[in-house]
Amino acid sequence: MSLRKDALTICKAALRAADPEEALLRHVRVADGVLTAGGGRYRLDKIRNVFVVGAGKACAPMAKAVEKLLGKRITASCVIVKDGHTLPLKRVQLRESAHPVPDQRGVDAAAEVLALATRAEADDLVICLISGGASALMPLPVEGFSLEEKQGLTRQMLAAGANIQEMNCVRKHLSRSKGGQLARAAAPAQVLTLILSDVIGDDLSTIGSGPTAPDPTTWAGVDEILTRFKLALPRPVPRVETPKPGDPLFARVRNVIIGSNALSVDAAVAKAKELGYKPLVLSTTIEGETRDVARMHVQIAREVQRASRPVAAPACILSGGETTVTLRGSGMGGRNQEFALVAGMELEGVPGIVALSAGTDGTDGPTDAAGGLADAGTVARALAKGRRARTDLENNDSYRFLEASGDLLKTGPTRTNVMDIRILLVEKKSAR
């Protein structure tokens, strides 16, 4: 049993499950003139126009899959992707814009998306593609509010300590497309939104700021948040309320999750079983400080090794979600690489366990690595190249540490993003 090889095999299975094109084709079918998705059936002979819109880092392969399914039935389209993330398509028009900092190209493309949705009528179908990055790639400030002003307010909120829920509440109300407003523009057309989730818990109102999902937040909430942080809008803006849960317009809207962290973890479970491991899924909603999460994962693996609980070896411990790194130094790395560094420290001199942590988008922090692996020899291998684990950890220099130990995990761009996956394999004591 080769733990490192098996960990990589399980990781590849998880990434395949998140492949945007394959994921869409698994969830959407066209047969006998009927498109089916998420329990919905759409008779194509009853649909006059098909408009394809959307935004996200993984939307090019998603659009490719839609082309395969519908081809010449597509009337018009505009799908926004990150710079360099295009594909050669025949029917769907891809527009590039900046990420993570929005630019004017994104504003112009978002206006085109909204215009297409507005064109749709009752006998039309709007297919909306959404994946991670959609919020930044599809910026469309409300009338009288500039992109620069919106960015300035965002920076002020971040500096004041606003969390993601508070940020989204304000951003939705300063946008013409977020918070269900794209669905409102498309009404009374049918809307089918196909979503690759990069959000813990797959909350539809949070993924891409929920352009076709009901928005439970309000302008009153915006006022409360800004008052609490002692901030103010730079100028008065139209206070148009976003559509809420129960709004009749959502009767013709179907939001379908085609890929998520949970689905990738499920694929990892299946591959682990195939390789002879007993899988144990801790959670697909793991958050918290990376260092603490790494230590917790290793301690569970050591309990499996020592006492055969909560599962007996050979075991595969799995989790998903997205942790946080508190920057203390000036080194290079990311949350998955820091997980591997800490796991390596915890596993020093402990054979029979391998830990892997990877970002499913193929990038971890500002690096070319997706993450890293760790085992009993990680610290020693790095030390032989002059790297000291504790020093590199305190400097957040996990990339150079793992590069020295030979434990960097590089997948290349995956064109998907369903957060992170962590895999710890524990072999039987007798195998050591």
In this prediction, residue 159 carries a pLDDT of: 85
Please provide the size of the chain in residues: 432
In this prediction, residue 175 carries a pLDDT of: 96
Dihedral of CA 273/276/281/286: which sign?
negative
Distances from the Cα of 372 to the Cα of 67, 141, 223, 255, 276, angstroms: 36, 39, 43, 34, 23
The CATH fold of domain 21-259: Rossmann fold (3.40.50)
- Provide CB contacts within 8 A for 286, sequence distance 6+: 293, 319, 320, 321, 322, 323, 422
The CATH fold of domain 3-11+262-427: glycerate kinase, domain 1 (3.40.1480)
Q: What is the pLDDT along the chain (432 residues), one digit of tens a residue?
A: 699 999 999 999 999 999 999 999 999 999 999 999 999 999 999 999 999 999 999 999 999 999 999 999 999 999 999 998 899 999 999 999 998 789 999 999 999 999 999 999 999 999 999 998 899 999 999 998 999 998 899 889 888 888 878 988 999 999 999 999 999 999 999 999 999 999 989 999 999 999 999 999 999 999 999 999 999 999 999 999 999 999 999 999 999 999 999 999 999 999 999 999 999 999 999 999 999 999 999 999 999 999 999 999 999 999 999 999 988 999 999 999 999 999 999 999 999 999 999 999 898 988 999 999 999 999 999 999 999 999 999 999 999 999 999 999 999 888 888 999 999 999 987 644
Q: What is the pTM of this model?
A: 0.89
Q: Please answer whether residues 355 and 301 qualify as being in contact, where contact means their C-beta atoms are separated by less than 8 angstroms.
A: yes
In this prediction, residue 163 carries a pLDDT of: 80
Q: Where are the domains of the chain?
A: 3-11+262-427, 21-259
Domains 3-11+262-427 and 21-259 fall in the same CATH topology: no
